[in-house]
Amino acid sequence: MVENRPWLTVLQHFVLLCGVALVLFPLWIAFVASTHEGRALVAGVIPLLPGDQMVENYRTILTAGMQGAGGASVGTMLLNSLIMALSIAVGKIAISLLSAFAVVYFRFPFRMLCFWIIFSTLMLPVEVRILPTFEVVANLGMLNSYAGLSIPLIASATATFLFRQFFLTVPDELAEAARMDGAGPFRFFKDILVPLSRTNIAAIFVIMFIYGWNQYLWPLLVTTDESFYTIVMGIQRMVTVADSYPRWHHAMATAVMALLPPTLVVLIMQRLFVKGLVETEK
Amino acid sequence: MHKKVTFGGFAFPLVLLLPQLAITFVFFLWPAAQALYQSVLRQDAFGLRTTFVGLDNFARLLNDPSYLASFKVTLVFSTSVTLTGLAVALLLACMADRVIKGSGAYKTLLIIPYAVAPAVAGVLWYFLFNPSIGILAYLVRGLGYNWNHQISGTDAMILVVIASVWKQISYNFLFFLAGLQAIPKSLIEAAAIDGAGPWKRFTSIIFPLLSPTTFFLLVVNVVYAFFETFGVIHATTSGGPGQATTILVYKVFTDGFVALNLGSSAAQSVILMLIVVLLTAVQFRYIERRVQY
pLDDT tens digits, one per residue of A112-150: 888 888 877 776 777 667 788 888 888 888 888 888 888
CB contact under 8 A, B35 and A103: no
Q: B263 to chain A: nearest residue by CA?
A: A131
Residue B292 pLDDT class (50, 70, 90 cuts): very low
What would the pLDDT profile of A78-90 be if each residue is shown by its tens digit? 899 999 999 999 9
pLDDT over 90 (residue B153):
no
What number is the average pLDDT over the span A141-165? 84
Report pLDDT for A70: 56
pLDDT at A202 exceeding the cut of 80? yes
Residue B45 pLDDT level (bands cut at 50, 70, 90) = low
Flag whether pLDDT at B258 surpasses 90: no
Mean pLDDT of A144-170: 84
pLDDT exceeds cutoff 70 at A49: yes
Query: What pLDDT band is residue B165 in, cutting at 50, 70 and 90?
Result: very high
Mean pLDDT of chain A: 82
pLDDT score, position A2 = 63
For residue B163, what pLDDT is reported? Answer: 93
Q: For chain A, what is the total number of helices (H) and then of strands (E)?
A: 16, 0
* Nearest Cα to Cα of residue A156 among B278, B292, B23, B130: B23
Quote the ipTM score: 0.85
CB contacts under 8 A, A 97-136 vs B, are 98-99, 101-109, 111, 114, 117-118, 120-125, 127-136
Binary contact (B95, A15; C-beta < 8 A): yes
**Domains of chain A, first to last:** 6-278 (1.10.3720.10)
- The Cα A137–Cα A219 span in angstroms is 12
**Do B5 and A175 make contact, defined as CB atoms within 8 angstroms?**
yes
Least confident of A64-68, A150-154, A275-279, B188-192: A64-68
Q: Which residues contact A250 (CB under 8 A, 6 or more apart)?
A: A38, A57, A60, A61, A66, A68, A238
So what's the pLDDT on residue A243? 44
- Identify the structural domains of chain B with CATH numbers, from first to last: 72-290 (1.10.3720.10)
The winner for highest mean pLDDT among A54-63, B148-157, B163-172, B257-266 is: B163-172
How far apart CA B208 and CA B188 sit, in angstroms, is 13
Helix (H) or strand (E) holding B71: helix B65-98
Q: Which of A210, A276, A100 shows the shortest CA–CA distance to B13?
A: A100
The amino acid sitting at A254 is T
CB contact under 8 A, B269 and A129: yes
| Model confidence, pTM | 0.87
Inform me whether the pLDDT recorded for B87 exceeds 90. Answer: yes
Cβ atoms of B49 and B43 closer than 8 Å:
yes
CA dist A162 and A139 (Å) reads: 33
Q: What CA–CA distance (Å, rounded) separates B150 from B172?
A: 30
Q: Write down the pLDDT at residue A242.
A: 44
Which residues in chain A are contacts of B9 at CB distance < 8 A?
106, 108, 185
Amino acid A139: pLDDT: 87
State yes or no: pLDDT of B34 exceeds 60: yes
pLDDT tens-digit readout, A9-27: 888 889 899 999 999 999 9
Summarize the confidence of residues B218-224 as an average pLDDT.
87
Number of Cβ atoms within 10 Å of the Cβ of B79: 13
pLDDT band at B288, cuts 50/70/90?
Answer: low
